[in-house]
Amino acid sequence: MNSLIKIRSAKNHDAKKIYELLCEKEDFLFDIATFEINYRICIGDARNIYMVAVDKSNVVVGFISCHGQIVLHHGGVIYEVKELFIEKKYGINGIGKMLLREMQTELSKKEYRSLEASVDNQKNDLIQLYKNAGFDQKQIKLISSKIKDGKNKILSQV
């Protein structure tokens, strides 16, 4: 099945299908107008890499995004995989591996210090995919989310 899958750079016209995959993955209906604005900003940023996996009909079945940024304590640019998701019927391993490999090939043309990925600790298949691709666990990522009144959880406790 994967021989029929091609990897290419994401385009503006891919936004709707990527939106659908994102909503499916997160089990949440995001605001489409906000998503489209943010998507176009992100794919227009030269430091970012956005790629899709498409089937033989050129329908998007998977997506990977990677953002570059200068981080002072890293001494230069680092890249981080921000999203990697595949249409459920395809599973993560084959197409996810293809997307990750192609993204790493694209990154090999750039100057950077490291490539990072943050993964929900419940996503064992995704964790294994990254480990198989040479990633090591080096950090623990802590997240503070906003609550309904718009205040940061930590700051609202002070």
| Burial degree of 4 (CB within 10 A; 0-12, 13-18, 19+) | exposed
Q: Comparing C-alpha atoms, which of 82, 92, 88 is closest to residue 125?
A: 92
- Whether residue 52 contacts residue 63, with contact meaning beta carbons closer than 8 Å, is answered with yes
Residue 87: Cβ within 10 Å count? 19
- Residue that wins the pLDDT comparison between 92 and 83: 83
Q: Give the mean pLDDT of 110-120.
A: 93
Q: How far apart are CA 29 and CA 6, in angstroms?
A: 28
In the chain, domain spans? 2-156
Architecture of domain 2-156 in CATH?
A: 3-Layer(aba) Sandwich (3.40)
**What residues form DSSP beta bridges with 84?**
64
pLDDT score, position 145: 85
Q: Report residue 140's pLDDT band, with 50, 70 and 90 as the boundaries.
A: confident
User: 94 pLDDT exceeds 60?
Assistant: yes
Contacts of 125 (CB under 8 A, 6+ apart): 92, 93
Q: Report residue 149's pLDDT band, with 50, 70 and 90 as the boundaries.
A: low
Torsion of CA 36, 120, 70, 136, to 10 degrees: -140
Q: Report residue 154's pLDDT band, with 50, 70 and 90 as the boundaries.
A: very low
Q: What is the pLDDT of residues 3-38, one digit of tens each?
A: 699 999 999 999 999 999 999 989 999 999 999 999
